[in-house]
Amino acid sequence: MNTRGPPDSESTEPNAPSVEAAFQAAPEEMVAEILDGVLYLSPRPARPHANVASNLGGLLIAPFKFGRGGPGGWVILDEPELHLGPRPDKLVPELAGWRRERLPRAVGGADAPAHYDLAPDWACEILSERTRGRDKGAKMRIYARDGVKHLWLVEPLARTLDIYRLTEDQWVLAQSFSGETRVRAAPFEAIEFELPLLWFE
């Protein structure tokens, strides 16, 4: 479901009050996002999608968040709500990560908002037929605009992982993984994992 407005990722006009009201009124069982002034409501992820997100988080959090078997130094969160840009655009990636020096307190105090205004250093989107167009369109443009340096796109059904890096404000496809290969990819190249672990049930 979406509430239409003219897509314009460069606009500094605030989101329409009706769009903001609909965002706030979104049912808890839906994922609500505002991209380029347009509200999107999506059902919670299907099983393959949820399985991959959980597996990838499990592979990265121990070495990079806790420093167990890896260098630590990261805050990695599941489905954080990001408010980026002046409108703001409101995005919910499957996973996002900040270098700890940029986000030393992920939880904050009792009065901390539920969302994050600081763009992450890394984001991961898990693609589905329903979300592929905006994940590879508006969301990629917004991430580039706000300086997210690394983006991973996972296709659960095709069983592929694409690694993008931001170069001069443009996304460059740095690596693509499929099959039985092993993955070592920025910004988490300190460890290697087997790609099939993403699909493990």
pLDDT tens for 5-18 read: 334 456 678 999 99
Tell me which DSSP letter residue 198 carries.
G
Contact 41, 31 (CB under 8 A): yes
Contact 93, 33 (CB under 8 A): no
Give the chain's residues under pLDDT 70: 1-11
pLDDT tens for 29-71 read: 999 999 999 999 999 888 999 999 999 999 999 999 999 999 9
Cis, bond preceding 17 (omega within 30 deg of 0): no
Edge-first strand listing for the sheet containing 30-35: 2-3, 38-43, 30-35, 89-91, 82-84
Q: Which pLDDT value is given to residue 4?
A: 36
Q: Which pLDDT value is given to residue 10?
A: 64
> How many beta carbons lie within 10 A of that of residue 76, not counting itself?
21
User: Considering the entire predicted model, what is its pTM?
Assistant: 0.93
Domain 46-198, CATH among 3.40.50.11540, 3.30.300.180, 3.90.650.10, 3.90.1570.10:
3.90.1570.10
Measured CA to CA, the distance from residue 113 to residue 116 in angstroms comes to: 7
